[in-house]
Structure 1
Amino acid sequence: MKAVQYRQIGKGPEVVEIDIPEPGPGQIRLKVTAAGLCHSDWFLMDLPEEQYSYGLPLTLGHEGAGIVDKLGDGVSGVDVGGAYAVYGPWGCGLCHACAQGAENYCPNAADLGIAPPGLGAPGAMAEYMIVDDPRHLVPLGDLDPVEFVSLTDAGLTPYHAIRAAQHKLYPGATAVVIGAGGLGHVGIQILRAISAARVIAVDLNDDKLALASEVGAHETLVSGPDTAARIRELTGGRGAEAVFDFVGAQPTLDMSREVVAIDGYIHIVGIGGGVLPTGFFSTPFGAAVRAPYWGTRSELQEVFDLARVGEVSVHVERYGIDDAVSAYQRLHEGTVRGRAVVVPS
């Protein structure tokens, strides 16, 4: 079968031929119908050799959906021929966090050698993939896998971050979304769907700001030296009750600190490498800084429910698997509008 793999440090993704995997006991094989690309893929492919720990070769793709093709021994509760999306942050399944469906915060996964698909385990950027346990499959129902596979990360991650700050998003409050790309444009829709807050979107790219307006941002601002002052002006000097930074670079984190309100929240979602000091002489009184990671299984179900009632959608660019390398290049260059999705067959 064809797969998109990272095979050599510093060389980027390649389309290769590998064997079709066989499911072991308790496992499920999916015939992949859609796989989403993510900046996290480039984050790990850009790591120097001394920091890379994901194994090689690595089949990419932590946003996956497919049709159940074959079951390993002992698997029940999953229908062969059924359409499912893959819940990506796999955990041990036994700890307190996993018992709540919060496998994204499993404290045992690393020690047990458990890794998410595409981020250590073989991922969805292939014609077939193996899912380790039925609990990591969420029924798609009538949702188009290509249109909605990105919700497994680009929807779930902002949803988790926003839900954790929802009590700050009361009528009259302001939420700032920094970065209106793959995650940010979905985050804006989630904010509009589950809160009454005014949404201000910030980005360097005019096309992404246009998309932010299309999906519901009340205000859009080009990022620059005066952006923080403009946000303060728009909020009557108060600042934003919640700031969601989907970039995470040092300049955007510095902006987050400048615009957050007293007792507000800064949620750092992007992995741009910045660091934000907090304390009495750095952030406003009461301001909380968090780095939420991915989301829970129940939250993924909620994101799909929002999609089913038309509250959330993803702007998708489709690519065949043979075009995956060029899609990754566009992602690296920042020219993808919304989310890039590979359709293997």
Structure 2
Amino acid sequence: MRAVQYRSVGSEPEVVEIPTPEPGPGQVRLKVTAAGLCHSDEFVMSLPEGSFPLPMTLGHEGVGVVDALGPGATGVSVGDSVAVYGAWGCGTCHACARGAENYCPRASALGIQPPGLGAPGALAEYLIVDDVRHLVPLGDLDPVAAVSLTDAGLTPYHAIVSSLGSLPAGSTAVVIGVGGLGHVAIQILRAITGATVIALDVDEEKQKLAREVGAHRALHSDDSAVAAIRQLTGGVGAQVVFDFVGAPPTLEIARQSVAQAGRIEIVGIGGGTLAAGFFSTPMGASVRAPYWGTRSELLEVLELARSGAIHVEVEQYTLDEAPEAYRKLHEGTIRGRAVVVP
């Protein structure tokens, strides 16, 4: 089969021919119908040698049709259209028992890694899923339109649901970075909260996208942003700031624009850190770094999409075009999310 692999440190992804995998006991093989690209892939490819086993098939956003069942695998049938829940855990600890495999405390010690972030990923013609519990029915959703919801939808949804108590009617939410995750976050905020949504981005086209998907205001993400947010909130600041960039400049905007007793959710992996303390963040403010989401939250995200409340802006590519799509992702010229159709 053909696959997109990161083969050596510092190299670009390549389209290669590799053997088609066979499912082992309890495993499921999918014929991939769509796979999403993410900045997390870029982060993985920036790490030093030894961080991940190479070569590695990329792609942690995946949907497909069940193609083959390993011995003992039950709960799905050949031909089922499914989405992959990618935050794999041990399956037996307290976190996994409640569906929060994204916070499994044993995964690292057991060598369990998500597809495309250690285990072979979805940027291939076929994908092995380790356990049927990591499959969610896709139903009538279009695979190309829905695949990015497994991360670009689930990750902001998890961050927002965790902050729902701070987002009643009359509150303000700031979304920093209107990329693959940020533009979905705006829609989720409009769908399930009463907050006024202010979006920030350095790119005017992405500010335009923010307004198109429901932001009440879209501002330039620069030194003027804090004053603008303070003015729009009557000097109070935002009850929650969602930083989908996570770089030092955006974290500083978050620190200065969050309200007292507010929340900062650092979702982006831009390399920045934020000092939280008595003389740094406003009184009562909390800082959190959420990771991915739970299995039940993925079901909820798919239901939001099915109802028409949220969607992902998609640029579609073939498997052969995947390396070029990664270059565009690095340049920041993708509108929404890049999706590869094998």
TM-score with structure 1 setting the length: 0.99
**1:92-131 matches, cutoff 5 A:** 92-131=90-129
1:303 and 1:191 mapped to 2: Cα distance? 12
Residue 283 of structure 2, aligned match among 281, 285, 292: 285
What whole-Å deviation, never above 9, does each CA across 1:65-124 have from its counterpart, x for those lacking one? 000000000011111100000000000000000000000000000111100000000000
AA of the residue aligned to 2:329: L
**1:123-272 matches, cutoff 5 A:** 123-272=121-270
Match of 1:45 in 2: 45
Give 5+ residue unaligned stretches, structure 2.
none
1:227 and 1:95 mapped to 2: Cα distance? 43
What whole-Å deviation, never above 9, does each CA across 1:14-65 have from its counterpart, x for those lacking one? 110101000000000000000000000000101232xx42110000000000
AA of the residue aligned to 1:188: I
AA of the residue aligned to 1:17: E
SS in 2 for 1:141: coil
2:75 and 2:337 mapped to 1: Cα distance? 31
AA of the residue aligned to 2:54: L
Identity in percent:
70
2:15 is the counterpart of 1:18: no
1:316 and 1:325 mapped to 2: Cα distance? 17
Match of 2:309 in 1: 311
CA RMSD of aligned residues (A): 0.5
1:184 and 1:12 mapped to 2: Cα distance? 26
Paired positions, count: 342
SS in 1 for 2:287: strand
Residue 62 of structure 1, aligned match among 57, 60, 82: 60
Match of 1:302 in 2: 300
2:77 and 2:241 mapped to 1: Cα distance? 41
AA of the residue aligned to 1:58: M
AA of the residue aligned to 1:130: I
AA of the residue aligned to 1:62: H
Match of 1:273 in 2: 271
1:268 and 1:8 mapped to 2: Cα distance? 30
SS in 1 for 2:321: helix
AA of the residue aligned to 2:274: L
Match of 1:28 in 2: 28
Match of 1:76 in 2: 74
2:9 is the counterpart of 1:9: yes
SS in 2 for 1:3: strand
What whole-Å deviation, never above 9, does each CA across 1:198-227 have from its counterpart, x for those lacking one? 000000011111111000000000111111
2:327 and 2:112 mapped to 1: Cα distance? 29
Give 5+ residue unaligned stretches, structure 1.
none
2:299 and 2:234 mapped to 1: Cα distance? 37
Range with bigger deviation, 26-35 or 223-232: 223-232
**1:306-345 matches, cutoff 5 A:** 306-344=304-342
1:22 and 1:288 mapped to 2: Cα distance? 46
AA of the residue aligned to 2:53: G
